[in-house]
Amino acid sequence: MRKIAVALVLALLVGACGDTAEPNTTDATTAAPTSSAATTTATTEPPVTAAPASTVTTEPPPITEGYPVTIAHGTGEVTLDARPEAIVSISPTATEILFALGAGNQVKAVDTQSNFPANAPITDLNAFEPNVESIAELEPDLVVMSFDPGDIESGLTALGIPVIVQFSALSIADAYAQIQQLGAASGHQGAAAELVGDIEATIRELNDELAGRDEPLSYYHELDNTFYSVTSATFIGELYAVVGLDNVADPADSEGFGYPQLSPEFILEVDPDLIFLADTKCCGQDAATIAERPGWDQLSAVQNGTVFELDDDVASRWGPRIVEFLQTIAAAIEEYEANRTE
């Protein structure tokens, strides 16, 4: 089922690229990329001192092989005439994907939350409250964002800056699609296919190895210390399902919102086999702090030492570190089994 979805997304993507590539290729090679609009108008105006022709020749020639491409993304389509060399990412996940694809040297600036990989060029751009002017000032030739609080996309588009919007992934298929989009946009389709293949392989392998239990283990995934959690309907929940774990938060979400706030009584009552803390950074929680919560010393996960501390970022992004996340969960299951057989 999932594979069909991925194949569909891929087909759509390739289809979209193929359709527009043919008629536009000639246009793109004759006319230089977006900056050319400014230079051509400049040539008609004599007072400009610097010769426009010379400024164009001093820049490295834009890579146009395989371009233009049209990318279908979260809010529509965007066409790139040449390989972007000054990408601004205000999405931590997109930053991770771009660097994983080998497009890191095309990334000019990233937002304050893009803390991985360490060599990502962090600036004070705010991912939650981006500002059109402060982004435009960086003269990007592509902006990637995961959230548009207002008219950021239309503002940048009006300035001639292409924008790709990639909302939070709701499924593994969404994550694959976004990797493919960024691969196509940055000129690293091959690497994108490889990365998706790696993730798929990990998922298949762990699914075969761990999902076949007669009695599935139950887990509680904690988002913060007020007991917000995720259900199986979320992207993270889907990853847990891959390794055959059963989510205790599912009954708490009749509306299908995906992120219910659980009653502390309920957590004690269901007594999950495994507890995963995705609030180690945000809220300073660890196995010791949760053991001190009222009544939590009764939880078998606390008593058996099957409380696992996750990296908040890895457990909330839908990029290349999905693999790392899955391996952490798999290791946790193995530790649980080892404890039990002792």
- Give me the residues that bind another protein (CB under 8 A), please: 113, 126, 128-129, 224-228, 251-254, 260-266, 268-269, 271, 279, 281-285, 293-295, 297-299
Residue 60 or residue 256: which is nearer to another protein going by CB? 256
Residue 277 Cα distances to 153, 235, 295, 311, angstroms: 35, 16, 17, 8
What is the Cα gyration radius of the chain?
23
Residue 33 or residue 260: which is nearer to another protein going by CB? 260
Q: Which helix (H) or strand (E) holds 164?
A: strand 163-165
Dig out the tokens for 195 from the structure. 């990365």
Q: Which helix (H) or strand (E) holds 36?
A: helix 35-43
Residue 76 or residue 295: which is nearer to another protein going by CB? 295
- Chain centroid, CA 22 distance in Å: 30
* Residue for token pair 């601004």: 88
Smallest distance, Å, CB 145 to another protein?
14
Residue 61 or residue 284: which is nearer to another protein going by CB? 284
Whether residue 220 contacts residue 248, with contact meaning beta carbons closer than 8 Å, is answered with: yes
Query: Using CA atoms, how far apart are residues 289 and 291, in angstroms rounded to an integer?
Result: 5
Residue 30 or residue 254: which is nearer to another protein going by CB? 254
Smallest distance, Å, CB 24 to another protein?
39
Smallest distance, Å, CB 298 to another protein?
4
Residue 43 or residue 226: which is nearer to another protein going by CB? 226
What is the SS3 assignment for 129?
Answer: coil
What is the SS3 assignment for 78?
Answer: strand
Instruction: Return phi, psi of residue 232, to 5°.
Output: -65, -15
Residue 185 Cα distances to 178, 245, 274, angstroms: 10, 36, 40
Smallest distance, Å, CB 288 to another protein?
13
Dig out the tokens for 61 from the structure. 């020639």
Smallest distance, Å, CB 193 to another protein?
33
Residue 7 or residue 128: which is nearer to another protein going by CB? 128
What's the DSSP call for residue 101? T
- Chain centroid, CA 226 distance in Å: 25
Smallest distance, Å, CB 270 to another protein?
8
Smallest distance, Å, CB 272 to another protein?
12
